[in-house]
Homo-oligomer: A and B are copies of this chain.
Amino acid sequence: MRFAALLNRFWHVLTLVALLAISAQAFAQTDPLASWNDGPAKQAIINFVQATTDQSSPTFVPAEGRIATFDQDGTLWVEHPMYSQVMYCLERVPAVVKAKPELAKVEPFKTVLSGNREAMAKLSMKDLEKILAATLTGMSVDEFNTEAKAWLETVKDPRWKRPYTELTYLPMQDVLKYLRANGYKTYIVTGGGQDFVRVYAEQVYGIPPEQVVGTAGGTTYGYTKNGKPFLTKEPKLLLNDNNAGKPEGIHLMIGRRPNAAFGNSTGDRQMLEYAKAADGARLSMLVLHDDATREYAYGPAQGLPATKVGTFTQALYDEAKAKGWTVISMKSDWKRIFASSDQ
């Protein structure tokens, strides 16, 4: 009986081991990029990961050196018809004017308060900068985080009537997870505000604040009346994380060249170029918005005029082809667009 009991336990152990082995195999066989259609874009990602993580590959990269950078607006989530952060700043104007009533009669605040969309669309870059400075600086870091978080929880995209945080692209979420599962540190490198994106990046993309690089202003360390230290956001630009500012920001914040980079507009051009211009296996990818039905189609590659945001010009398309960057067609490469389950 004692032998029988022992044997019974032994078989139990063996069964468990077998089950574990089967599960592991099943897991390995699950397609980590199931939201992608088979094609050159999907294959480029898989080839890159194999070339940099297979120890026998001549282009193998040790785990601690694996860095991938992602633009955000238009690359990880919807940017059309307006960057969510610009929307945030415009919607913060009434609160700012309430605190400083003298602004009500001053441009560009007067125009924003009027609610006249046509007049607002004509605001210059300089006007926009004034609005950004007034709505993104002058408060403590904690106050800003609270305000931005509350806004993101209530605001909805006009077309899908859903929070922006639910309008991320499933295929890109899958790429983020696939790269992380293969030892890559994933970074957001955005022209948007670093502090703004940090408010939600961990919850939405699994990317912690320290892995968000963005347009950043200075802060000033000071004290409350009770002597408690806090940081105030200042209207002093430290990093304009667009165009050449992207590789410059990557150097400042990460300190090494990414092996892979993903973008969708001319603002990402230099980042993609920088990631690709080194030895070894490199991956630079551009998301092309060519799906008017499921999302939007814009950019001259579709023979359509560029929108004010996310300019993907014909020149960028040609450069991508010439330099071996991979263009991702939302229409043909993505099986599904959005990460939220009912879209």
Q: Do residues A231 and B247 form an inter-chain contact, with CB atoms below 8 A? A: yes
Which residues does chain B contribute within 8 Å of A64, judged by CB atoms? 202, 208
Given A7-B7, A255-B198, verify A248-B229 contact (CB < 8 Å).
no
A193-213 CB contact bits vs B (8 Å, 1 = yes)? 011001000100000111010
A10 at the binding interface (Cβ < 8 Å): yes
How many residues does chain A have at the interface if contact means C-beta atoms less than 8 Å apart?
40
**From residue A149, how far is it (CB to closest CB) to chain B in Å?**
14
**Chain B contacts for A202, CB-based, 8 A:** 64
CB distance from A1 to the nearest CB of B (A): 13
Q: Can you list 12 A-B contacts (CB < 8 A)? A: A6-B7, A7-B7, A141-B251, A185-B210, A209-B255, A209-B256, A210-B210, A218-B252, A220-B248, A229-B274, A231-B251, A238-B238
Residues of A within 8 A of B (CB): 3, 6-7, 9-10, 13, 64, 141, 185, 194-195, 198, 202, 208-210, 212, 216, 218-221, 228-229, 231, 238-239, 244, 247-248, 251-256, 270, 273-274, 277
Q: Which 8 A-B pairs have the closest CB atoms?
A: A209-B255, A221-B244, A10-B10, A210-B254, A198-B255, A221-B247, A219-B248, A229-B277
